[in-house]
Chain A
Amino acid sequence: MVQNSLRNMATGTEATHDVARETDTASASWTMQTAAFARRTLRATLRSRATLIWGFGFPAFWYVLTSVAFLPGAEAVGGAGNLAAVKASTAVALGLFGALTVTLVLFASGLGRDVGEKRYRKLRSLPVAPSADFAGRYLAGLSVAASSYVLVLILGYFDGARYALQSPVSVLVVVGSLALFSLIGVSLAVLVTVLVSDAEMIVGITNAVLLVTYFLTGYNGLMPGLLPDRARFLVNVAPNALAARLQVWHLTDVPATTPEGAASTGLAPPALPIGPEYVALLLAWALALGAAAAVAMDRGIYRGEGGE
């Protein structure tokens, strides 16, 4: 029989189904499943023209446009050193805008296609842990988001931006806040996908969230003066602005370290979120939204029938 011969070719044994499955069950672990979803999402995302255009091209273009057309001259901010820091903070804010584009819009678009094209009918039939699906997609989203973020920072560097760490802990804060912010983006993407399901609506809603949060927080917290006085506290609370302002403090130099400096670059008031309580606030956002997304993935897509 063909099948018998195929089995023997592949396994070299006449082992029963039960023995084969027992052996393989241990190896088909959560880690393998997570890595499988991460590789799949990473490849599909990087091979999408939308990723190249919107995830990498658009944030870079926006940085260049901002630098050329909108940033003040060195005299207006108190010297060339301050301008270098302003450019750095602009790069950080637009780098995080790119990270959110990837983790929210592009991630939701990919998940929405899986849901809309009924691929979860197959995935639900597999012994897959929903948490492995979520974790794998998150790791892929984080990788692409980090690449987009670093690209804008490098572009800023060649444009004259200068970065400086406040302390060795700043490395942890910058990397950690990028990871947490990416988790927030991916979690929002999952929640929107589960609630809406329709692929076109998903792209529309996530784009709206991306742009509205950017503009309503004064360009990710760079220009709180654009908000009414009573709403300015939002730049140290909303996760996009909070992450950006945390990173501006830990990744750029001088102006923000004094009230006068921060004011001269438009970053204050309110004061930059430099205390540990603000890191905890970002962590709380990420954990709350991450937990909600994990539950939504489990109940809405796996135990439910998202997209049907």
Chain B
Amino acid sequence: MTVSADAAVRVRDLRKGFGGEHVLDGVDLDAERGEVTVLLGPNGAGKTLLLSCVAGGLHPDAGDVSVFGESPSAARADLTFGLQDGMLVPQLTGRENVAFFRDLHPGATDRWRDVLTELDFDEDALDREVRDYSGGMKRKLELAITLAVDAPLVLLDEPTAALDMTAVETVHSLLADRAADGDAVVLSSHLPVDADLADSVAVVTERGVVAQDDPETLRSAVPPVVRAHGPVDGLAEHVRDGRVFRGDDGRRGFLPDGADRDAVVDALAADGVDVRITDPTVSDLFDYHVHVA
């Protein structure tokens, strides 16, 4: 596999599954130094498996995975991997869990304290057993342990799951800083808000990585969105594949190829629907690739 100087992660034709069934079937992925790559996809699409294969936590059935031009196992000292619900021992206190991981990685530092402070983590809770933590507290501790490691590749499995919006923004800031320092950051998420952070978005579905590019380029490739309020029974006739999505702002669907925008608006308006056609958001990008394309 040819690797460019900026390449942090290269995945080619990765196949991985269990019990004879491939969850990942021919996946390609690229991540560069100094960039945040977000693996965006629904639950069960294989994002955690993909990250685990890149981290060396799982071994591919077939295909190539390289980290800085080496195999994941050879590059273990150059990466730090945060795995949701796969790190902490419930019977240990937060501080004891931190101490355990600190002794296992040559790049570990004491920055975990500062990360926890940034995330507004109650320091007194560090002396409580982790089994008494909420989901958000566990996630913050996993993040602190992972981000305290000085390694040029940061891999995070759903780091913002169970966090409040303030904490999500803090995590985004920490990861953006990490990328600005030249590190490669790869994270998985099923929340479109995490795409705000991305230099590159890889959409992961059950069909693999179906698209990867910068967010604007990806959004520009998604059809316009028909948004409707009111009596929307007829909306399905006017959107791609007849697929209608519910949302806070009514119903929506994707304009079919070759459809006349004005004709669609007129037809729906005639039925009393409050309708408009807009450019896609990141949520639309997610829905399009996961459910329509």
A68 at the interface (CB under 8 A from B): no
Q: Across the interface, which residues of B come within 8 angstroms of A308, CB to CB?
A: 18, 58
Contact pattern, B 101-134, Cβ under 8 Å of A = 1, otherwise 0: 1011111111101110010000000000100000
Stretch at the interface among A24-32, A175-183, A216-224, A281-289: A24-32
Contact pattern, B 149-172, Cβ under 8 Å of A = 1, otherwise 0: 011100100000000000000000
Stretch at the interface among A4-12, A90-98, A251-259: A4-12
Q: Across the interface, which residues of A come within 8 angstroms of B174, CB to CB?
A: 2-3, 6
Q: Do B118 and A2 touch (CB < 8 A)?
A: yes
Q: Do B111 and A10 touch (CB < 8 A)?
A: yes
Q: How far is the CA of A32 from the CA of B104 in the complex (A)?
A: 8
- If A121-B86, A122-B86 touch, whether A36 touches B107 (CB-CB below 8 Å) is no
B264 at the interface (CB under 8 A from A): no
Q: Across the interface, which residues of A come within 8 angstroms of B62, CB to CB?
A: none
Q: How far is the CA of A110 from the CA of B109 in the complex (A)?
A: 28
- If A20-B150, A305-B59 touch, whether A127 touches B105 (CB-CB below 8 Å) is yes
Q: Restricting to A67-96, which residues have a CB under 8 Å from any CB of B?
A: none
Interchain pairs with CB closer than 8 A, number: 136
Q: Across the interface, which residues of B come within 8 angstroms of A4, CB to CB?
A: 177, 181
B89 at the interface (CB under 8 A from A): yes
Q: Do A17 and B89 touch (CB < 8 A)?
A: no
Q: Do B57 and A121 touch (CB < 8 A)?
A: yes
Q: How far is the CA of A14 from the CA of B92 in the complex (A)?
A: 33
Q: Across the interface, which residues of B come within 8 angstroms of A167, CB to CB?
A: none
- B: number of interface residues (CB 8 Å): 50
Contact pattern, B 180-195, Cβ under 8 Å of A = 1, otherwise 0: 1101000000000000
Q: Do A121 and B181 touch (CB < 8 A)?
A: no
Minimum CB distance partner of B76 in chain A? A127
Stretch at the interface among A42-50, A54-62, A144-152, A202-210: A42-50
CB of B139, distance to nearest CB on chain A (Å): 14
Q: Do A44 and B103 touch (CB < 8 A)?
A: no
Q: How far is the CA of A157 from the CA of B52 in the complex (A)?
A: 53
CB of B125, distance to nearest CB on chain A (Å): 17
Q: Across the interface, which residues of B come within 8 angstroms of A123, CB to CB?
A: 57, 104
Stretch at the interface among B39-47, B77-85, B221-229: B77-85
Q: Do A11 and B103 touch (CB < 8 A)?
A: no
Q: Do B103 and A122 touch (CB < 8 A)?
A: no
Q: Do B104 and A1 touch (CB < 8 A)?
A: no
Q: Do B86 and A21 touch (CB < 8 A)?
A: no
Q: How far is the CA of A9 from the CA of B114 in the complex (A)?
A: 8
Contact of A125 among B76, B111, B118 (CB under 8 A): B76
Q: Do B106 and A25 touch (CB < 8 A)?
A: yes
Q: Across the interface, which residues of B come within 8 angstroms of A124, CB to CB?
A: 55-58
Q: How far is the CA of A154 from the CA of B2 in the complex (A)?
A: 67
- If A35-B103, A40-B96 touch, whether A122 touches B177 (CB-CB below 8 Å) is no
Q: How far is the CA of A47 from the CA of B173 in the complex (A)?
A: 37
CB of A38, distance to nearest CB on chain B (Å): 10
Q: Restricting to A116-137, which residues have a CB under 8 Å from any CB of B?
A: 117-128
Contact of B55 among A9, A43, A125 (CB under 8 A): A125
B10 at the interface (CB under 8 A from A): no
Minimum CB distance partner of A47 in chain B? B91
Q: How far is the CA of A133 from the CA of B178 in the complex (A)?
A: 31
B245 at the interface (CB under 8 A from A): no
Q: Do A24 and B107 touch (CB < 8 A)?
A: yes
- If A3-B178, A122-B83 touch, whether A128 touches B107 (CB-CB below 8 Å) is no
Q: How far is the CA of A32 from the CA of B100 in the complex (A)?
A: 10
- If A4-B177, A28-B105, A40-B89 touch, whether A121 touches B77 (CB-CB below 8 Å) is no
Minimum CB distance partner of B145 in chain A? A122
Q: Do B100 and A127 touch (CB < 8 A)?
A: no
Q: Across the interface, which residues of A come within 8 angstroms of B183, CB to CB?
A: 17
Q: How far is the CA of A48 from the CA of B113 in the complex (A)?
A: 28
Q: Across the interface, which residues of A come within 8 angstroms of B78, CB to CB?
A: 21
Sample of 23 A–B contacts (CB below 8 Å): A6-B114, A6-B115, A11-B111, A17-B107, A17-B151, A20-B150, A21-B106, A25-B106, A28-B104, A28-B108, A40-B89, A47-B92, A117-B85, A121-B58, A122-B81, A122-B83, A122-B86, A125-B83, A126-B76, A127-B77, A127-B105, A127-B106, A305-B58
Which A positions have Cβ atoms within 8 angstroms of B?
1-4, 6-7, 9-11, 17, 20-21, 24-25, 27-28, 32-33, 35-36, 39-40, 43-44, 47-48, 117-128, 303-305, 308
